[in-house]
Amino acid sequence: MPDPLPTYGLKPAIIAVMSSLLIGVPALGIPLYKLISVSSVEVLQSADERQGGWINLLVLVPLVPLLVAYRDNNLVWIVLAGIVGLFMVLGAISVLFTLLLGKVSLPISMKLAVSRINRSKRHTGLQYGALGLSLMLLTTIWLVRNDLLSDWQRTLPADAPNAFALNIAEYEKDAYLEALDGNEIQRSEAFPISRGRLTLINGEDAQNRQKKGLEEEDALSRELNFTYAEQLPSYNEVLSGEWTDVGGVSVEKEVAENLGLQLGDELGFTINGQEVSAKVNSIRFVEWRDMKPNFYFIFTPDVLANIPSAWLVSFRLEDKDNALISELSRNHPTVSLMDIRLMGEKIQGLLSQIVWSITVLAALGVLSGVLLIFTLLRLSLSQRQAEIRLYRTLGASRKRIVRTIWAEYGIMAITAGVVATFGAELVVGSIMTFGFELPWSWHLSTWIIVPAIAFLTLALVLFSLIRQMLTTSQKQFA
């Protein structure tokens, strides 16, 4: 990313407007020059179109400032290269699919439609690329938005704990928990906490398990919070092994993977100056974002029976509970209360802003895609009118022509929708798995929704053009 990141202000808006104007110079200047340079003779008969080729140099108007402004910004060039590459890949795959479709026995209208698509591979590839890229962008944004939003809502639900009470002494634990329960405060189970280090793995120094060249493993670099329990927390998923009653310890999955721990390994710990050992009886998956008490290691009660512990509990506070918090602070001055309500509200607000931003980007992507598709269809209007006149000359009915047109655009919409959905699934899967390290699965409903949206989009465009194509061709035929 750029360092430093762009700031708020008028500069981004000015850059956007200037970029649009520079891009508009060749986009409008080239066709406008060719239009005004057409002579009356060229209207009646074809002429050499290579004259005035220098006008194509107008494409340098946006390219030169782009090269100057972003010559050192690798991110811009990566994005541009990705867009061009995706455009070509999506267009090529769609054209290949249509070519294969032409070898299948189809009804007459669809066969004419496939023949029409395959006849101009270059133009068809441009349409497929534009439609597929727009749909893929929309689908990617929407899937990322939904997956992240559902994950955030799962890990930060409305009733998530927003306060933690630490260092609760053994003699005041019952009184503290009774005060919470008496005021109907939603709380977690209370956990005994002892601090210590992992020192031995199967009789060898645990530091020997540190992989060279990698950042020091968190479980080896500092003191950890240990706890014991009769049963593992219900919100921790056991991946392998089974909880035992005595002499055991359950290990968090990432720690087990980083240190190469397996079921049955003997682990040695130094806790409050005392040496203890336990065998690995299970490996757990821990979701650290759940705002609940979680631990790298959880022991069976007998292992830490002779080690003093303080207690920890998490609970949910509302504004009406402020008086209770003041009372608890007076009655239990040695207990540390970590109130994260303000932080939670800021996180929720930030997530809402992110969701709205992604939604706006998706809406802009839809609008840009529709405008691009409409422009491409308008550019091919005269060619299609000529083909319709040919069909009418050969005896094709209006009904057959309409069916052929709808079949052509239906095939293009479904093909581009399926290809775009497949591409979006791959991108989103990579983002969620490698970018956010979150679980990911195929979105089966998207394979139906996206082609349907593509068809409806083309249908709206076609409704605005089909009458003009048929009417004009009929007048010219008459």
**pLDDT given at position 14:** 86
Phi, psi (deg, nearest 5) at residue 239: -90, -35
The residue among 141 and 239 whose pLDDT is bigger is 239
DSSP β-bridge partners for residue 339: 163
| Maximum Cα interatomic distance, the chain, rounded to a whole number of Å | 104
Confidence of residue 121 (pLDDT cuts 50, 70, 90): confident
State the pLDDT at residue 266: 94
- Does the structure show a pLDDT above 80 at 379? no
| The Cα angle at residue 412 between residues 114 and 370, in degrees rounded to 5 | 145
Tokens 């309409």, located at residue: 402
Is the overall model pTM greater than 0.75, yes or no?
Answer: no
Token code pair at residue 32: 């406008």
> Between 75 and 424, whose confidence is greater?
424
Pairing between β-strand 274-285 and β-strand 248-252 as defined by DSSP bridges: parallel
Q: How many CA atoms lie within 13 A of 222 on its CB side?
A: 4
User: What pLDDT does 198 receive?
Assistant: 92
Token pair, residue 335, equals 């207990």
What's the full length of the chain, in residues?
478
Task: Find residue 224's DSSP bridge partners.
Answer: 196
d(CA 332, CA 341): 21
**Alpha-carbon span 64 to 19, nearest angstrom:** 12
- Residues contacting residue 18 through CB under 8 Å, at least 6 positions apart: none
| Best CA proximity match to 261, nearest among 273, 242, 247, 279 | 279
Q: What is the CA radius of gyration of the chain?
A: 33
Stretch 75-79: mean pLDDT? 83
Measured distance CA(166)–CA(101) in Å, rounded = 67
C-alpha to C-alpha distance for 70 and 77, rounded to whole angstroms: 8
- Strand, helix or coil for residue 232: coil
On the question of pLDDT at 69 being above 70, the answer is yes
| Number of Cα atoms under 13 Å in the Cβ half of residue 64 | 8
For the ranges 278-287, 416-425, 464-473, which has the lowest average pLDDT?
464-473
Confidence of residue 2 (pLDDT cuts 50, 70, 90): low
For the record, the structure tokens of 27 come out as 């986009």
Residue 50 above 60 pLDDT? no
The tally of CA atoms less than 13 A away on the side-chain side of residue 19 is 11
What average pLDDT is seen over the chain?
82
pLDDT in tens, 298-332: 999 999 988 989 999 999 888 888 888 888 889 99
444-458 confidence digits (pLDDT tens): 888 888 888 888 877
Distance CA(244)–CA(177), nearest Å, equals: 28
Report the distance separating Cα 269 and Cα 197, nearest Å. Answer: 6
Which helix (H) or strand (E) is 327 found in, with range? helix 322-331
- State the CB neighbour count (10 A cutoff) for residue 258: 18
Name, in order, each residue with C-beta under 8 angstroms of 421's C-beta and a sequence gap of 6 or more: 135, 136, 139, 446, 447, 450, 451
The sign of the dihedral angle between the CA atoms of 382, 384, 387, 389 is negative
- Of the chain, the percentage scoring pLDDT greater than 70 comes to 87
> Given this model, what pLDDT does residue 140 score?
84
> Between 198 and 349, where is the model more confident?
198
Whether pLDDT at 468 is above 70: no
Amino acid at 237: E
pLDDT band at 40 (very low <50, low <70, confident <90, very high): low
- At residue 338, the 3 state secondary structure works out as strand
Cα distance between residue 434 and residue 455, in whole Å: 33
Q: Supply the pLDDT for residue 477.
A: 46
Q: Which residue has the higher pLDDT, 145 or 309?
A: 309
Residues with Cβ within 8 Å of residue 188, at least 6 apart in sequence: 161, 292, 293, 313, 314, 315
**pLDDT value of position 48:** 52
- When pLDDT is averaged across residues 454-470 and rounded to a whole number, the result is 73
Phi, psi for 273 (deg, rounded to 5): 80, 0
Give the other-Cβ count within 10 Å of 28's Cβ: 11
**Main-chain dihedrals φ then ψ at residue 295, nearest 5 degrees:** -145, 150
Residue 268, strand partner residues: 200, 277
What pLDDT score does 193 carry? 93
Could you tell me the two tokens for 342?
Answer: 């303000």
Model confidence pLDDT, tens digit, residues 195-231: 999 999 999 988 888 777 566 677 788 889 999 999 9
pLDDT of residue 383: 66
Q: How many angstroms separate the Cα of 430 from the Cα of each of 101, 146, 188, 440?
A: 30, 15, 35, 9
Q: What is the pLDDT of residue 312?
A: 93
Among all chains, which residue has been given the structure tokens 């890990």? 155
341 to 12, 245, 344, 345: CA distances (angstroms)? 35, 37, 5, 6
pLDDT tops 70 at residue 382: no
Residue 354 Cα distances to 79, 342, 343, angstroms:
21, 19, 16
Task: For residue 5, name the pLDDT band (cuts at 50, 70, 90).
Answer: low
Compute how many other C-beta atoms are within 10 angstroms of the C-beta atom of residue 179. 15
Sign of the CA dihedral running 97, 101, 102, 108:
negative
